[in-house]
Amino acid sequence: MANYTYSISLLIANIAIAISAVGYGSDLFDVVLSPMGVCLATIAVLWITTVCNFGGAKITGRIGSVTVWGVILPVLGLSLFGWFWFSPSLYVDSWNPHQMNFFSAVSTSISMTLWAFLGLESACANADAVENPQKNVPIAVFGGTLACAIVYILSTNVIAGIIPNEALLKSTAPFGLAFAHIFTPEVGKIVMGLMTLACVGSLLGWQFTVAQVFKSSSDIGYFPRVFSKVTKAGAPVVGMLILGGVQTLLALMTISPSLTKQFNSLVDLAVVTNLIPYVLSMAALIPMQRYINLTNGQIKFNTVIAVIGSIYSFYALYASGSTAMLMGALVTFAGWTFYGMCIKDENTVPTLKTNN
């Protein structure tokens, strides 16, 4: 179930990334898209990045290592130097414009916060290539998460003191808008272009990753064998085509009056499905400790952290809204049927031995 819901969350998250690329691209070229136009453009981006992955991970990795700078440079630059254009009075005016209380504000923002860190668990995938992974991988994950949190906090706060809240709400390319305000519209366009490339480059890598996740699950018997088929380049092309078709249907099903609303709906659904593996992992931690040589103090500490994490996850599920919870529950329940239909592997369904 953890494998299934995690795979589905990535499938949905990639659609949201494609919508982000469309948002920056439409602002870059000053194009106003209708809801159907946004949907069709999103589908086009999804299929372009899918087809580009047919050549294997090597090409994807090279492109992604370049395009990632399209988001690092503007965001990091604004986080460090945007304070020279920061207006405290504008920031105060933009603070809590709807006059929400603390818990309402947390509930509203919790999905977007978790969305920002979606995928951090993928850092554990290369544990086999790391020296002393039991120690170094957790440090790397925690350090990377902390660094991202600092950048997120700095960039989102500084931009609120540069651009009026009303303008930010209407923009689908807030960082481009900030640079246009600080410098010139031309500089803003350049940043929008960089952000568009960064979104496409990120999506390129994640489209391959989600296909690999389905392949890995298929290899051990959780998903149909068709997802295990690969080309000479090592690309699970058949699986990519199937997943591309599913993403196309999901994009059509989530058409909304505005790009922002469709993006938020997909984010909520991706977060809900991604929280299921989190809850299952924390629940599994408690019995797993019985098989590891830990002190009573370590067991108590880990258990407390797992309980706190579980409470936070359940609150996040509640805060995601009834629609996301309903859709997420249906997706999760469908996983049991999917599992029963697909499971054929000896590792997961051992043959019963009878005595003659």
**Residue 291: predicted pLDDT:** 82
Please give the tally of structural domains in the chain.
1
**Residue 311: predicted pLDDT:** 93
Q: Does 352 reside within a domain?
A: no
* Residue 197 three-state SS: helix
Average pLDDT over residues 247-265: 84
Q: Does 349 reside within a domain?
A: no
Nearest-5° Cα angle at 75, 70 to 79:
155
Q: Does 124 reside within a domain?
A: yes
Q: Does 353 reside within a domain?
A: no
CATH of the domain at 26: 1.20.1740.10
Question: pLDDT tens, 38-87?
Answer: 999 999 999 999 999 898 877 777 888 888 898 889 999 999 999 999 99
Is the dihedral angle over the CA atoms 254, 100, 146, 149 positive or is it negative?
A: positive
Give the closest residue to 20 by CA, choosing from 205, 191, 193, 172.
172
Rounded Cα–Cα distance for residues 165 and 186 (Å): 22
Residue numbers of the domain that contains 129: 2-342
Q: Are 17 and 202 in contact (CB under 8 A)?
A: yes
**Residue 182: predicted pLDDT:** 93
**Residue 242: predicted pLDDT:** 95
**Residue 218: predicted pLDDT:** 85
Query: What percent of the chain has a predicted confidence (pLDDT) above 90?
Result: 29
**Least confident span in 37-51, 181-195, 308-322, 342-356:** 342-356
Q: Give yes or no for residue 209 having a pLDDT over 90.
A: no
Is the dihedral angle over the CA atoms 35, 237, 328, 96 positive or is it negative?
A: negative
Of residues 163 and 287, more confidently modeled? 163
Question: pLDDT tens, 327-340?
Answer: 888 888 888 887 77
pTM: 0.82
Q: Are 193 and 175 in contact (CB under 8 A)?
A: no
**Residue 348: predicted pLDDT:** 56
Q: Are 305 and 311 in contact (CB under 8 A)?
A: no
Residue with tokens 């390129």: 204
Q: Does 348 reside within a domain?
A: no
Q: Are 35 and 255 in contact (CB under 8 A)?
A: yes
Of residues 48 and 100, more confidently modeled? 48
| Number of neighbouring beta carbons within 10 Å of residue 91 | 16
Give the closest residue to 84 by CA, choosing from 188, 184, 191, 182.
182
Of residues 340 and 278, more confidently modeled? 278
* Four-CA torsion 32, 35, 41, 46, nearest 10 degrees: 140
Q: Does 351 reside within a domain?
A: no
